[in-house]
Structure 1
Amino acid sequence: MQVSECMTRDVQVASPDDTIQQAAQIMDRIDAGVLPVGQDERLVGMITDRDIAVRAVAKGRECDTPVREAMSGEVLYCYADDDADEVLENMGDQQLRRMPVVDRDKRLVGIVSIGDLAKKDERDSGEALSQIAQPGGLHAT
């Protein structure tokens, strides 16, 4: 099965020039914790609710801080025609719950989550989720 068969196609995108408050409002409206960041039809980053909390709010940044100052610029993505099993394995290895999906011209066409892939194969998604959920940081002990 290809990723295109199980991904979510209706994806909201933030601009690097949007404020973190605008990004948070979009996340609230669509009930999501992550937004792709796009500019000129290209994926340039990802911003999560955790990015907003840790990279902006915890450092005393204002709500008008541009998304570009809190987003992750290094984006791991997959192609719409990639094999879903391989993407699921990669998500587990990289400890990702969601991954943007691009076409061969690298234009954003969707987003795929462990939940999307779980509909396909519960056993494989369970293995990936157990890799993603590995403890880390100060609370790991």
Structure 2
Amino acid sequence: MNIQECMSKDVQIASPNQSIRDAAQKMKEIDAGFLPVGENDRLVGMITDRDIAVRGVGAGKGPDTPIRDIMSKEVLYCFEDESVEDVSQKMAKQQVRRMPVLNRDKRLVGVISLGDISQQDQSGGAEALSSISSPGGQHVQH
């Protein structure tokens, strides 16, 4: 099974010029912990609730701080035609719980989470979650 068969296709994208307040409000509205950040039809970063808490508030930045100042610029992603098994292994190796999905033209087409994977593939999602949640797997989520 390919990722495109189980990914979430309704993706909200933030602009790097929006404030972290805007990002937090959008996350609350859609009940998500992260937003892809796009500019000029390209994925340029990710912002998570953790970024807002640690890199924003924890670093003394105010709610009007642009997303660009605190977003994660290293974007870990997968392609829509990759297999669920390959992507769950990639997520476990990179210790992330969610990942943007691109088409082969590198355009954002969706988001995949461990929850999406576990609904389709009980063993892959559980294995990835176990790896990410292990004591040695305390990485910042992108």
Q: 1:110 is matched with which residue?
A: 110
AA paired with 2:85?
D
**Number of residues paired by the alignment?**
138
Structure 1 SS opposite 2:120: coil
Once the two structures are superposed, residues 72-122 of structure 1 have per-residue CA deviations (whole angstroms, 9 ceiling, x without a partner) of 000010011111110001101111100000111111000000010111111
Structure 1 stretches of at least 4 aligned residues deviating more than 3 Å after TM superposition? none
TM-score by length of 2: 0.94
Q: 1:26 is matched with which residue?
A: 26
Q: 1:124 is matched with which residue?
A: 124
AA paired with 2:118?
A
Alignment map for 1:1-141 (pairs within 5 Å)? 1-135=1-135
* Structure 2 Cα separation of the partners of residues 74 and 137 of structure 1: 18
1:41 Cα deviation from its structure 2 partner = 1.1
* Structure 2 Cα separation of the partners of residues 39 and 136 of structure 1: 35
Report the identity percentage: 57
Query: Structure 1 residues 103, 22: closer, same or farther in 2, change over 3 A?
Result: same
Once the two structures are superposed, residues 35-58 of structure 1 have per-residue CA deviations (whole angstroms, 9 ceiling, x without a partner) of 000001110000000000000101
CA-based RMSD: 1.4
